[in-house]
Amino acid sequence: MNNKILTGIQKNKAENRRAYWVLLDPDDFTIEKAVETARCSQEHGVNALLVGGSLIETDNFDIFVKSLREAVSIPVIIFPGDSTQLSKHASALLYLSLISGRNPVNLIGEHVKAAPVIRQYGLEPIPTAYMLVESGAVTSVEFMSGTRPLPRGKPNIAAAHALAAQYLGMQMIYLEAGSGASLTVPPEMIKTVRACVDIPIIVGGGIRDKATAVEKLESGADIIVTGNLLQKENGLEIMKEIAESVNAWTSTRID
Ligand code: 1GP
């Protein structure tokens, strides 16, 4: 099985480099605008693009991914809300299991539906433990999955989930506050998870400025994700600042 993208992520982590990924939801962009944003992201030092959403209302997923892939050389990775969000044009797919919840559909059901298509497309699936963290209001992921998020004041519960995921063989942890979250993943939770797993940690949800992104890096995140930021008036400027900080990251790991 092809594992080029995961190998690259692991190599980055081994060399103590951090990464910045930008999420493009096909419902939020025309293809032209997405292509322009993708080029600009690459130019400013974004390391990969994610494509997906909890609920996608447009029917252009495949062409959206294909257009981005043709426009940029950084990886275009599917971040699927369900098994319908697949494209043979993607560089890889986050094979997300929503382990913070207890809904079998998001733990294994959608994976079974997607598996034959992933094989047929020759897509690289990256087994990723997706952990939804309480963030002040009901998020799309919480509502759509019918699961409860992890309590934000209980980092030990998050750490136990992450450790279980690592023991099960998952290759990455995604700590998710939810798109547009009012509260981001707490630094204490990232630190506690970092202290007990070796696999790369992605942190996203509600990151809208450089200081917050840096706080996540300092806590031990390997990869920062922003999505909604680009909908802000000065979103591109802030994206540039975050990319600079992430790419300039040199401090010693805290774990
Ligand atoms: C959502 O983590 C991503 O899945 C990004 O969240 O849109 O709040 O940046 P934002």
What are the structural domains of the chain?
4-247 (3.20.20.390)
Residue 255 has pLDDT above 50, yes or no: no
Which of 27, 207, 216, 230 has most ligand 1 atoms within 8 Å of CB, for mutation?
A: 207
Residues with CB under 6 A from ligand 1: 23, 176, 179-181, 204-207, 225-229
Instruction: Determine the atom of ligand 1 nearest the C-alpha atom of 177.
Output: 2
- Reported as a single tens digit per residue, the pLDDT across 9-43 is 999 999 999 999 999 999 999 999 999 999 999 99
Tens-digit pLDDT profile for residues 83-126? 999 999 999 999 999 999 999 999 999 999 999 999 999 999 99
Strand partners, 132: 176
Give the pLDDT mean for 149-162. 98
Could you tell me the pTM of the whole model? Answer: 0.96
Q: How far apart are CA 133 and CA 137, in angstroms?
A: 11
End-to-end CA distance of the chain: 31
Q: Is residue 105 a contact partner of residue 82, using CB atoms and an 8 Å limit?
A: no
For ligand 1, what atom is nearest to the CA of residue 208?
A: 9
